[in-house]
Amino acid sequence: MMRLDLRQLPGTSSLIRDYVHAFPRLAPFYAGNPQAPDAYQEQADRCDARAYRRHELRDLLLAQNERWGVPHIVRQRIEELGHPRAVAVVTGQQTGLFGGPLFTLYKALTAVQLAARLQVELRRPVIPIFWMASEDHDVAEADHIQLLDRTGTPVTLRHAPWGSPSGFIPANLRLGPAIAETLERTWALLPATEFTPALRDVLGQVYAPERTLAEAFARWMVHLLGGCGLVLLDGADPGLKRLAAGILQRELDEAPRSSRAILEVSQSLRALGYPVQIEARPDGVNCFLLREGRRGLVKDGNGFRLRDSKQMIPAADLLRLAQDEPERFSPNVVLRPVVQDCLFPTLAYVAGPGELAYFAQLRPVYQAFDVRMPLVVPRASLTLVEPRIGELLERFRLGLPDLTLEPEQLSSRVLRAHLPPDLEATLAKARESVGEVFRGVGEAIAAVDPTLRATAGQTAGHVQGHLDQLERKAVQALKRRESEMRQQVQRVRGALMPGGKPQERVLPLLPFLARYGPALLETLRAAIDGPGWEHRLLTL
């Protein structure tokens, strides 16, 4: 397994580079440095100092997870959450079709492996929890996957029988009968192997017409990682909203306090040259009203207004609604982590690069709600390299950064390095040499018999003709070789950097499961031993 410094990867932001390699620059924006020797113990002690509604959370998690058919080990982990010293390693992601891109699985496995390690080190229960963000994104961001066609070109498969219901969420929309056609289109782009029949059977059972995207995602994750003890949580659960009602009410009552805190810390980050992930607005409210989909709110005078609308809602009415029906609200990207860490004794949050960056803006929001910010650790970052792709990568002497080049630029670079550079000049020199040699031969043989001078010239013409024929064959061979190399370069780029984007952000697990079977999950689990402080190329 090859390891790459994150600084070698194109697209790595300055904030991520410094978080991994120069944390003191960013220390004021986070709860602590997770690479420090005592960081986890100190965070666990802070969790011990706070009271949590452990038994209510346990009951809610048991009810949710039993609906999804989890094995005994998951129920056992949920029961352990009731222990007064239990803490959690949390991660989460939107509920993408067929599990979404690979990085979703990597986040979950990072949480599982880090929790297992910390449970031994801290000698207390550490439970891995995956927060299914079934309300965080519009359906259009979760209703598709991308697979590669035979040329290595990404093909988007979208499941959207409901059309384009702007603002609606994966928690509410059922897959419907059209999921059968979506599955068939998926199988058409996957390899047929000894593992395919079982995979088809499981996926067909999980992605059944009567289920929502969120429920099917949960059952798929249980199939993949239930045996690891991963606990799932659906953020859309009304019971969870009731437990979080105090945070939601406070956000409304004090709005736009938290948004202005975001604006203030954003200025500090920009002053240090860091990018800002969350663009807050001074009148912003950091939760959505679930009315005909997901509606943003802004503070307007003494009341509230639906974002991008003139419709006003009196403050008293909205606060009463939050108290009586908290399930009608959904925290946004700013408030969701605060809700999470108010409810759970969160030791660490496993974040993707974007999340890690926006956590830099959240510390004052945590402080405003009197909630402890967790340690933030980067998820594992991997590129899966199949054997044939690895051979081509080595033959063409390419690295991952090279694969971000445009296809034509990358192909031209490889061709220049691997095709004979002076073939035309060599053939021209050969023709010139043939002419000189046979002129000399003609002179010499004419001294013996002048009538043979013409024969020497004819012989020279025959040789030149053979050279021309050789050149034509060489050109044809070069064209074939060039075409083959272009196809091979496209295959490598498509497999490792599809569309110029990291594999883990584009491709799902499905094609790899079809080729390598269930044993692949153990391979991945062995390759992910904790947070992703580096990028790894894993040869399968």
**DSSP string for 1-23:** -EEE-GGGSTT--HHHHHHHH-G
Same domain as 368, residue 322: no
C-beta of residue 187 within 8 angstroms of C-beta of residue 171: no
Average model confidence (pLDDT) across the chain: 92
pLDDT confidence of residue 370: 96
Pair 374, 361 in one domain:
yes
How confident is the model over 406-420, as a mean pLDDT?
80
Residues 127 and 163 in one domain: yes
The answer, yes or no, to whether residue 165 has pLDDT greater than 60, is no
Tokens for 261, please give them. Answer: 């805190």
Same domain, 117 and 148: yes
Angle formed at CA 171 by CA 168 and CA 176, multiple of 5 degrees:
85
CA torsion sign, 386 to 104 to 101 to 513?
positive
pLDDT band at 215 (very low <50, low <70, confident <90, very high): very high
| Tally of structural domains, the chain | 3
Domain check: are 301 and 184 in the same one? no
Residues 123 and 35 in one domain: yes
In a domain, 183, yes or no: yes
Q: Give domain status of residue 389, yes or no.
A: no
Pairwise pLDDT comparison (462 vs 318), residue with the higher score: 318
- The answer to whether position 426 is within a domain reads yes
Asked if the structure places residue 205 within a domain, the reply is yes
Model confidence, pTM: 0.90
Band of residue 476 on the pLDDT scale cut at 50, 70, 90: low
358 and 487 co-located in one domain: no
Looking at residue 475, what is its pLDDT?
Answer: 63
Asked if residue 258 and residue 225 are part of one domain, the reply reads no
Instruction: Kindly state whether residues 81 and 215 are assigned to the same domain.
Output: yes
| Residue 360 predicted with pLDDT over 70 | yes
Is 36 found in the same domain as 109?
A: yes
Sheet holding 126-132: strands in order across? 231-234, 126-132, 87-93, 346-351, 375-378
Whether 167 shows a pLDDT value over 60: the answer reads no
Least confident piece of the model among 4-18, 67-81, 262-276, 499-513: 4-18
Same domain membership, residue 119 and residue 42: yes
Looking at the domain assignment, is residue 391 inside a domain? no
Task: Tell me, yes or no, whether 67 lies in a domain.
Answer: yes
Look up the domain containing 303 and give its range.
247-329
438 and 480 belong to one structural domain: yes
Q: Which of 94-108, 435-449, 472-486 has the highest mean pLDDT?
A: 94-108
Q: Is residue 394 part of a domain?
A: no
